[in-house]
Amino acid sequence: MDRLLPKKKWPPKKIASILAVVLFFSLIIYYIVFGDKSSKLNVKTERITISIVSEGAFSEFIPVVGNVMPIKTIYLDATQGGQVEKIYLEAGSFVKQEDRILKLSNTNLLLDIMYQEAQLIEASNNLRSTRLAMEQNRLNLYSNLAEADYQIRRLKRQYERSQELVAKGVISQQEYEQVKDEYEYQVRRQKLTIESQRQDSIFREVQIAQLESSVERMQINFDIVKEKLENLVIKAPITGLLTSLNAEIGQSKSPGERLGQIDVLDSFKVRAAIDEHYIARIEIGKKGTFDFAGDTYQLVVRKIYPEVSDGRFETDLYFVGEKPVDIRRGQTLHIRLELGDLTRALLLARGGFYQKTGGQWVYLVDESGNFATKRKISLGRQNPQVFEVLDGLAEGDRVITSSYDSFGDNDKLILE
């Protein structure tokens, strides 16, 4: 006969063990399905830089280095070759316009001047002789014309009387014809004399014009040679500082050789070398600023040299308004050269993060300040201080802007 067995109860320990196992696997499943799978890295906050995104005035500019130069520099070149005969002033002297600086000697040039002068004197003498001969011929012709005119008048009266006398039979026909022939001969001779005078005058005038032109050319050549002689004395073309002088007594100088330079120190300009990447954006009138002795001064681009050398081109900037009192030639200035107008923008401070992310993403600090996560962003223009934020961040956001090199590829940073 069967017996009814009493129902067994689970002991509390067994139930607790089962619940613990179920809870453990439930947590694992929850973590797998809903848990944070991102990689994490603990970071000390004192080792990073956190910047706040803010809205403000943005000015796009680039840093350039410029050198202070005189506002104007005049170079001294030897227009004529020769040997240095005398030096009147030394480098570093202050000179006034037309002050003599040095003198060259050139024996060949002196001989050339003597030859040109002799030719000019000879041509001038020929011109004077021709003019004198022409005047003498003119006087002789006037005398001949006067004599011919006298003979014609005398013979005309005789010829007219002979016509009356031959008609009355007082003189013979032969005597009449002799008077007539003599009269007509003198008339023809006068006409030939006048024509000869006209032709001779034309010839003499052409000859004198040619001689005058020749003398004029010789005078011009002689003046040029004399000017060359005067150019052997090098004078200061302007007032300024004789910055350099490359000459020694007895030294030979070729035509066109650089002898020195004079700097005008009334004012200064700044010459800056700029990366060729910006050559299309630098224009006349662009402004720049620099700090000097605790004050900020302004410059403006006045000249652009388009030649590119070693990846850089040069510009000349002039001071706007007041310039530093103690500024000197050769000083180096660190200039902030503007590329665009002043605008309002969302700004993020520059930092080492850009080298790794290229401005594509940043670590955004949570409002709690306990951690930071990756955030995709878009950056626009920049200057040496800030980036322009186009998308991905809002005013007041806190961003880690220091270097990301030690963060690896972790998606989340735990801030300690």
Are the beta carbons of 379 and 359 closer than 8 angstroms? yes
CA angle 178/184/186 to nearest 5° reads 105
Q: Where in the chain is the domain with CATH 2.40.30.170?
A: 62-68+266-338
The mean per-residue pLDDT over the stretch 262-273 comes to 89
Q: What percent of the chain has pLDDT over 90?
A: 11
pLDDT of the residue at 1: 44
Backbone phi, psi, residue 88, to 5°: -90, -35
Angle between helices 107-168 and 173-230 (to 10 degrees): 170
- Which carries the bigger pLDDT value, residue 19 or residue 339? 339
pLDDT-wise least confident of 9-13, 14-18, 40-44, 85-89: 9-13
pTM > 0.75: no
Are the beta carbons of 75 and 101 closer than 8 angstroms? no
pLDDT-wise least confident of 132-136, 310-314, 327-331, 356-360: 132-136
The mean per-residue pLDDT over the stretch 67-77 comes to 89
The mean per-residue pLDDT over the stretch 390-401 comes to 90
Homologous superfamily of domain range 62-68+266-338: Efflux pump adaptor protein, beta barrel domain (2.40.30.170)
Mean pLDDT value across the chain:
82
Q: In angstroms, what CA-CA distances link 125 with 131, 224, 413? A: 10, 21, 106
Q: Where in the chain is the domain with CATH 2.40.50.100?
A: 74-106+232-253
108-228 under CATH 1.10.287, yes or no:
yes
CATH of region 37-57+343-415 = 2.40.420.20
Fold of the 74-106+232-253 domain:
OB fold (Dihydrolipoamide Acetyltransferase, E2P) (2.40.50)
The mean per-residue pLDDT over the stretch 20-37 comes to 59
Q: How far apart are CA 317 and CA 306, in angstroms?
A: 15
Q: In this model, does residue 368 exceed pLDDT 80?
A: yes
Q: In this model, does residue 316 exceed pLDDT 90?
A: yes
pLDDT of the residue at 22: 67
Give me the torsion for CA of 155, 159, 162, 163, rounded to 10°: -170
Q: In this model, does residue 390 exceed pLDDT 80?
A: yes
pLDDT of the residue at 35: 47
Residues in Cβ contact with 260 at an 8 Å cutoff, skipping those fewer than 6 apart: 75, 76, 91, 101, 242, 243, 244, 245, 246, 247
Q: How many CA atoms lie within 13 A of 363 on its CB side?
A: 30
pLDDT of the residue at 314: 93
- Which carries the bigger pLDDT value, residue 342 or residue 53? 53
Q: Where in the chain is the domain with CATH 2.40.420.20?
A: 37-57+343-415
Residue 132, Cα to own-chain centre: how many angstroms? 59
Per-residue pLDDT band for 333 (boundaries 50, 70, 90) equals: very high
Q: Where in the chain is the domain with CATH 1.10.287?
A: 108-228
pLDDT of the residue at 37: 52
Q: In this model, does residue 369 exceed pLDDT 80?
A: yes
Q: How far apart are CA 173 and CA 179, in angstroms?
A: 10
Most confident of 64-68, 88-92, 113-117, 193-197: 64-68
